[in-house]
Amino acid sequence: MKTTPYSLGALLLALLVLPAPTTAVATVAAVGDPTPVAAGRHRHTASEISAFLTAFYGHHGPSARDRELAISQQLKEKQAHAPTSDVLLCAHDEPRDIVVGAVTVAHTAGVGWATVTTHWAGDRTDTFTAYVRLDSRPIKLDDVICAG
C-alpha cells in the first residue's frame, strides 16, 4: 500500500466532510435564471413583480403608504414636478378599476415591467407601463411610462 502525505490526506478528508448541496438549491438553479447571480443577491421573478404590482395598484390606485414607501426616489421627484397629475396612474383622478398585465423580465437589463390598464367611466380605458428593478430591496416601483 502506498502512503499519502499528510497534507493531501487532510485535504481529502476536509472535502469529504463538506455538506452536499441540498435539492432545493439544485432545483432553484435548474429552473431559475440561466444567468448566474452572485451568492446572496436576490433578483425578483416575474411572479413576484406581478404580485407586487397587483397589490400596489389594487383596484383604484396605490395607497398613501405605498406612495411613500414602495416607489423609487426618481418617481417621488417626478410626482413633485407634476403636482396636478398622478404620475403613478398617468391620470388626474381615480380609475374605476385597474388590471395588471403579464410581466416581462429582462435579466440583462435588470428590470421587469408590465402593462397596466386603467378603466374609467364610460367604458374608457388607458394603459401605461410600470417598471420594477429586479434587485430592489424591498421591491419598489421604479418608473412609470404613460402611453399617451
Cis bond upstream, residue 21 (ω within 30): no
Task: Give the per-residue pLDDT at 9.
Answer: 43
Give yes or no for a contact between 88 and 67, defined as CB atoms under 8 angstroms apart.
Answer: yes
Q: Looking up cell 481529502, which residue turns up?
A: 12
Average pLDDT, the chain: 81
C-alpha cell read off for 53: 404590482
Task: Give the per-residue pLDDT at 83.
Answer: 92
Collapsed DSSP state (helix, strand, coil) of residue 132: strand
pLDDT band at 2 (very low <50, low <70, confident <90, very high): very low
Mean pLDDT value of segment 46-59: 98
